[in-house]
Homo-oligomer: A and B are copies of this chain.
Amino acid sequence: MAENLAVMDEDEVHADRVAAILDAVEAEDAARITELMEPLHAADIADVLEQIGSGARRALLALWSGEIDGEILSEIDESIREEVIESLPHSVVAEAMRELDTDDVVDILEDLDLPQQGLILDALEDVDRIAVQQAMGYPEESAGRLMQREVVVAPEHWTVGEAIDYLRETPHLPDQFYHVILVDPRMKPTGYVTLGRLLSSRRDVLLRDILEDSFRTIPATESEADVAYMFNQYHLISTPVVDVTGRLVGVITIDDAMNVLDEEHEQDMLRLAGVGDESSLSDGVWATAKQRLPWLVVNLFTASISAFVISRFESTIASLVTLAALMPIVASTGGIAGTQSLAVAVRALATRSLTSANAKRVVLRELVGGLLNGLALACLLGLAGTLIFGDWKLGLVLGAAMITNQLVAAMGGVLVPLGLHRLKLDPALASGTFVTTLTDVLGYLAFLGLASMVLL
């Protein structure tokens, strides 16, 4: 309770701040805008830009463009980043890009149009431009795109003292690094030492004697989803990235992996709900409508299958119209059960807890679980039907259809995502539509089919 109150208060503080900024924008009071924006973290400034309308955003940027730095640009959601970059003077963008590490430049660049990409690449210094272009050579959403190229390495024969002296003498160390990576003469990483270990060891200790157990490397072509999984599974903090020949080409740190994990979750949740995964709250009305229309249209067709099934039973319904009122109960409860199984299965596939090793057992568990819940619901609904309509046969039909459909839902909810996974497709994608179509069609079929046999 207290924690939620705190959140609400924070929300109000935030809303008041945004209102004050909008007032200042309307008054064209650049000094006041600076006063309000200055104390904010780049991530919070990006949030403000995302949460105001595009008109206000343009006006704010016109008054305050000089203050937009690289960090703010890399925090801004990709849905409005292009718009923001377009509305900034070229010199501001160029200056902002030069401040950033190459991995952040790549992250910004990959979502832009080619002409904008060219402008930004031109603004970079030669060495950075080459680094960025090399990174862009790796597949999208790969470790190569995610990694920072700035690494801290030491030869295998160094001592703690030599490493510390080297670090003190090196003028441009990466903003963040957590290990000194040991490399062989061909730049192949062979182990790493944490900075804590380095700091707490005597100067004459050999680096190779204080290596960490957790050491592993990531191929540059590995998918970023796999990278995020690996960081979360093995509690990694930073990990060297190697090319096909095993040479060190960069390093990925946990904050980037956490970001990917967050985006993967968003994707799963939105895909499960049938929303394009590029969706964002800053999208305009047209973009929003367009992202969602495809699955709505697909659903229009799949729902027509249900309609067709029902239409085959029109004579049954005509002779007992109550059936039309009762049939959605069976179908919709099946839909909920299917969605439940589905969410558990999609999550389990994402965390790799559902594998070929236990797939059979999980399917069996779902089946028996579906049967149990089907029985419980059948008793409830069957009894209610019998009592309300004074017809035990109707109660029986309701109950039997409910059990059938709960079994279908339990099966569909786990087999559909498993099947998509086997086909090397995203299990979250389209699963929802498949499963609810299944539970709808078979729910209507079971109920009306049984009704036409038993009741008429």
Q: Could you say which of A19, A174, A195, A336 has the most chain B C-beta atoms within 10 Å of its C-beta? A: A336
Segment at the interface with B among A59-67, A118-126, A232-240: A232-240
Chain B hits for A259, CB < 8 A: 232
Q: Does A222 contact B (CB under 8 A)?
A: yes
CA of A315 to CA of B324, assembled, Å = 11
Assess whether A306 is in contact with B328, with CB atoms less than 8 Å apart: yes
- 7 further interface pairs, Cβ-Cβ under 8 Å (given A11-B356, A173-B200, A274-B336): A195-B195, A198-B199, A279-B344, A286-B372, A300-B333, A307-B325, A332-B436
Chain B hits for A167, CB < 8 A: 196, 199-200
Chain B hits for A275, CB < 8 A: 340, 343-344
**Known interface pairs A270-B347, A343-B275. Does A281 touch B353 (Cβ–Cβ under 8 Å)?**
yes
- A50 CB to nearest B CB, Å: 6
Copy number of this protein in the oligomer? 2
Q: Which residue of B lies closest to A372 (CB)?
A: B289
Q: Does A381 contact B (CB under 8 A)?
A: yes
| The residue from B231, B265, B270, B339 contacting A274, defined by CB atoms under 8 A apart | B339
Instruction: Mark out the residues of chain A between 294 and 330 whose CB falls within 8 Å of any chain B CB in the assembled complex.
Output: 295-297, 299-300, 303-304, 306-308, 310-311, 314-315, 317-318, 321-322, 324-329
CA of A237 to CA of B307, assembled, Å = 55
Q: Does A78 contact B (CB under 8 A)?
A: no
Q: Does A395 contact B (CB under 8 A)?
A: no
Q: Does A450 contact B (CB under 8 A)?
A: no
Chain B hits for A281, CB < 8 A: 344, 348, 353-354, 358, 362
Assess whether B237 is in contact with A176, with CB atoms less than 8 Å apart: yes
- A163 CB to nearest B CB, Å: 8
Assess whether A51 is in contact with B424, with CB atoms less than 8 Å apart: no
Q: Does A6 contact B (CB under 8 A)?
A: yes
CA of A356 to CA of B8, assembled, Å = 9
Assess whether B293 is in contact with A376, with CB atoms less than 8 Å apart: yes
**Known interface pairs A43-B234, A281-B358, A356-B15. Does A168 touch B329 (Cβ–Cβ under 8 Å)?**
no
Chain B hits for A110, CB < 8 A: none
Assess whether B196 is in contact with A176, with CB atoms less than 8 Å apart: yes
Instruction: Mark out the residues of chain A between 26 and 80 whose CB falls within 8 Å of any chain B CB in the assembled complex.
Output: 41, 43-44, 47, 50-53, 77
Chain B hits for A296, CB < 8 A: 333, 336-337, 340, 373, 377
Q: Which are the 10 A-B pairs with shortest beta-carbon distances?
A: A273-B343, A195-B195, A18-B357, A15-B356, A324-B324, A3-B223, A310-B325, A265-B265, A4-B424, A311-B325
Assess whether B222 is in contact with A196, with CB atoms less than 8 Å apart: no
Chain B hits for A14, CB < 8 A: 355-357
7 contacts between A and B (CB under 8 A): A168-B201, A195-B195, A258-B258, A273-B339, A285-B365, A296-B377, A317-B321
CA of A280 to CA of B77, assembled, Å = 33
CA of A348 to CA of B282, assembled, Å = 10
Q: Which residue of B lies closest to A362 (CB)?
A: B281
Assess whether A196 is in contact with B168, with CB atoms less than 8 Å apart: no
Assess whether B196 is in contact with A177, with CB atoms less than 8 Å apart: yes
Q: Does A87 contact B (CB under 8 A)?
A: no
Instruction: Mark out the residues of chain A between 158 and 209 whose CB falls within 8 Å of any chain B CB in the assembled complex.
Output: 164, 167-168, 170, 173-174, 176-178, 194-196, 198-202
Q: Could you say which of A198, A234, A296, A303 has the most chain B C-beta atoms within 10 Å of its C-beta? A: A296
Q: Does A268 contact B (CB under 8 A)?
A: yes
Assess whether B306 is in contact with A317, with CB atoms less than 8 Å apart: no
Chain B hits for A342, CB < 8 A: 273
CA of A433 to CA of B336, assembled, Å = 9
User: B-facing mask of A356-367, CB < 8 A → 1, else 0?
Assistant: 111001100110
Q: Does A12 contact B (CB under 8 A)?
A: yes
Instruction: Mark out the residues of chain A between 255 and 290 whose CB falls within 8 Å of any chain B CB in the assembled complex.
Output: 255, 257-259, 261-262, 265-266, 268-270, 272-275, 279-282, 284-286, 288-289
**Known interface pairs A296-B336, A318-B318, A440-B332. Does A170 touch B200 (Cβ–Cβ under 8 Å)?**
yes
- A451 CB to nearest B CB, Å: 12
Q: Does A2 contact B (CB under 8 A)?
A: yes
